[in-house]
Structures are given as C-alpha cells and as structure tokens.
Amino acid sequence: MPLDPHVKRWLDEVYGGPFTPMHEMTIDQARRQMQAASDLLGPGEEVASVENIAADGPHGSIPVRIYRPRSQHDRLPLLVYFHGGGWVLGSIATHDAYCRALANASGWAVASVDYRLAPEHPFPAAFDDSYAAAAWLADSADRLNLDERTIAVGGDSAGGNLAAAVALAARDRGGPRLAGQLLIYPITDFDLQRPSYIANADGYHLTRETMRWFWQLYCGDNFARVADDLRASPLRAESLAELPPAFVLTAEFDPLLDEGAAYAAKLSASGVEARYKRYDGMIHGFVRRTAEWSVAREALRDAAEFLRSLS
C-alpha cells in the first residue's frame, strides 16, 4: 500500500526543511529532539492517578511511574512498559501520553520503567534494569494494590526488545510469572540486511543508519558478542516455547518490519499463542500519534483489546 496520507504529509514537513539525520547529531541533541517531538503530542489524557515510585535494581533504584486508569478498581492487572528510543533516547516523560492512553483504553495499570540508557550504561544495563523492575513490581503487586496473577510486559521498538528479552528471562529464570507480552515494532535481532531494512533504509523517519548507530552505542566495545546475546537478539533463541501469549504490531514502512514479523512467526511455530498485525501505510513510531492519526487509534484499541483478553 502507499503511505497513509497523514503520514506522507508529516514526512513532507519533516524532510521539507533543514534536516539533520539523528545519527549525525550528538546524543544530547537527539535526546532533546525526541523530548521536544514528544511534547508536541500533547499533555495526554487524565487518568485516575499517577504515582512515581522506585523499584530496586542491580545498581540502585529504578524510577517507575504507575498510571491507574479512569476505570480504576481494586487489584488492577498490570502492564510493565519499556519505552522506545534505541536504548539511547526516551524516558518516562517521552512516553507519558501514550502510557496514559493505554491505561485508559485497556483498564489496566501501566508501570513505565525509566531504565538506564546507553552509551553511558551500555548493554546489559537496560535489560538488567528492565528485568529487575518487572520482578520487583511482581513481588510488590499486593502492596501496590495490583493483581499479581495478571502482569504483562510491553514496549515499543527498543522497549519491545526489552519486553521480549524480559519474557525470555522470566521463562528461563523461573519468574516473574507473566500473563502476556505486547511487542510494538520490536527490535528482535541484529541483522541490518533484512529486506525491510533495505527497502525502508531512508525517508521513513527511522533509518537504517540510525539503527546502526543505536546498536553501536548500546553494544559498546562488545559489539560482536552482544549482537548474538539473546538479551539483545531474542529472535536468536533456540526456542520460544512456553512464553506467554503475545501481540506483535509492525508498520509497513519500517526497517524493523521483517524482524517483528519473524518473531511473531517463531512464537507461533513454538506453540505460543501469538497475534500479529501489520499496519499498512504506517512508519516506525506511529502508535504514539493517537491524537492525529486514525490508524494509531486503531492500534491503541487493538493493544487494549489484547490486554483485556489476558485478564
């Protein structure tokens, strides 16, 4: 399909003026740009409550923000959410509006995790924080008035990578017990030669060279070893059997399209209940634009429906 008209108009605006590719920016510039772009998405929906807490991590406390939906009731199911940004950018603040919308649409509490970023904290810091936060939240569910029987992990892009890796680790380490995984255009494998990387290398917001930049910053000096590690490339796991049900969302004009589709297919082949949906005409990052693009609202409804199906 062609690009969605709303997406094309937005891309024309982005590329129509002075434009610096992200991988040619300094890290501070790229982080400021992502925050400024996120601020333009609006303040987000009102929710019943927002609570900033700290989870215990392997190298100190991990900031976590818990959103409780307007339809709040006791013992809410919980989605532990990891933001995108190539393990280098993003924060609780950049994904605040989306987490609010997802909480309200699903009726679930959403706990957004502010894991440590590369290159200051290279692999496996982001994974270590993400797994520790999920385990801590599961252990603390009763105290937080959450349903410890219904906890899922989720995230977009690098956050989808972390969610998939946490689900694998939870299986292999005997916990925490997870009810599902919501994987939004996830990074699942270090392979920049896939057809979608070539076809969507430039001009669609996330580029092939920016992904190379992210991987290099995340992996640091251990690039070859890390790229093969299941905590970084979960698609390379020998088996995905006995993982919780999954919903994998991808975008047609996204370099990450093929690896997301491959992960969903491997989940299904491993006997995991896995739903897969490609959103035609869309680009990487589209799901957070719920105030502007109807397909983003559709994806939000689909994600919320998946979460409700788990509880």
Just list the catalytic residues.
Answer: 157, 254, 284
Amino acid at 286: F
Which of helix, strand or coil describes residue 56? Answer: strand
Distance CA(248)–CA(184), nearest Å, equals: 6
DSSP type of residue 23 = G
Token match 């923000």: residue? 65
Amino acid at 44: G
DSSP type of residue 3 = P
Distance CA(8)–CA(6), nearest Å, equals: 5
Tell me phi and psi for residue 220, to 5 degrees. 65, -140
Judge whether 257 and 284 are in contact, CB under 8 Å: no
Distance CA(102)–CA(288), nearest Å, equals: 10
Distance CA(56)–CA(74), nearest Å, equals: 24
**What is the layout of strands, in order, in the sheet containing 109-113?**
49-57, 60-68, 109-113, 76-82, 146-156, 180-184, 246-253, 274-283
Q: Which residues have CB under 8 Å from 91's CB, separation 6+?
A: 35, 83, 85, 114
